[in-house]
Amino acid sequence: MKEESRCSFCVKLFKWFPVLFITAVIGWSYYSYVIQLCFLTVEDMDEKVCYLITYHPLLVLFLWSYWQTIFTDVYSIPKQFKIPAAEFEKLQKEPNEENQRRLLEQLSTDLPVLCRTFSGAIRVCEKCRMIKPDRAHHCSVCGKCVLKMDHHCPWVNNCVSFSNYKFFILFLGYALVYCVFISLTTLQYFIKFWTNNLKGYGKFHILFLFFVAVMFAISLVSLFGFHCYLIIANRSTLESFRPPVFRMGPDKNGFSIGRYQNFIQVFGNDKLR
């Protein structure tokens, strides 16, 4: 038991490494931008103040959305979707597939379930012993079924799902703006580095800061753009690869209620928020 608990602790600790890596990169970028660039390299006071005033709100929004994505709990599946122990045992022992399907239809009579398996049966999670709500999937990393699961993201050590999808999108958006801002404001000093007009050891921080910001911006553009498309289409990442199945068959637009309403479904009705 002690070895199992140690192993479990090591696995949990290892899962935080990508988050610690991103946090370390953000910390280094702060030092490079604020100290090495703004305080020690930029000579014009107006330029320096402008950079600092713009940079810090972007950083706060970026960190806030990242924090929310990581620490927002995955919502639990409502208990009415749980299959009673006796019924689940009966389901497991039933050899006839048609009888299994009838039993599942009876168990889901009062549940708002539209999605089916490819064979037309009600979706069941044998690990959680429950009927799966629409768009829910079992996450092997979290060890439970997750509402409107998009994917499990190692960079936030959490499932991106119904409860934190809005924060995840904001995180991608603010991260992209953060990287683009750094890229644009360090560009002239990056050019000065190659023309030997930048002095001191801090120039290497500025050089790598530009490279890292551009690299992350390029990857974030495609990822953020892809998820913006998913929001407008009202699909998850999983549904973009395998469309949900209904009684009449697969339908990739099965949950779409119009572009604006799809957007509202993720971001809410309050325009100020």
Catalytic residue ranges? 153
Query: Tokens standing for 4?
Result: 């199992």
State how far the Cα of 195 lies from the Cα of 90, in Å rounded to an integer. 77
Whether 250 and 199 have beta carbons less than 8 Å apart is answered as no
Phi-psi region of 83 (alpha: psi -120 to 50; beta: other; left: phi over 0): beta
Whether 128 and 111 have beta carbons less than 8 Å apart is answered as no
State how far the Cα of 209 lies from the Cα of 271, in Å rounded to an integer. 35
Whether 176 and 217 have beta carbons less than 8 Å apart is answered as yes
Please report, in angstroms and rounded to a whole number, the separation of the first and last CA atoms in the chain: 48
Amino acid at 126: E
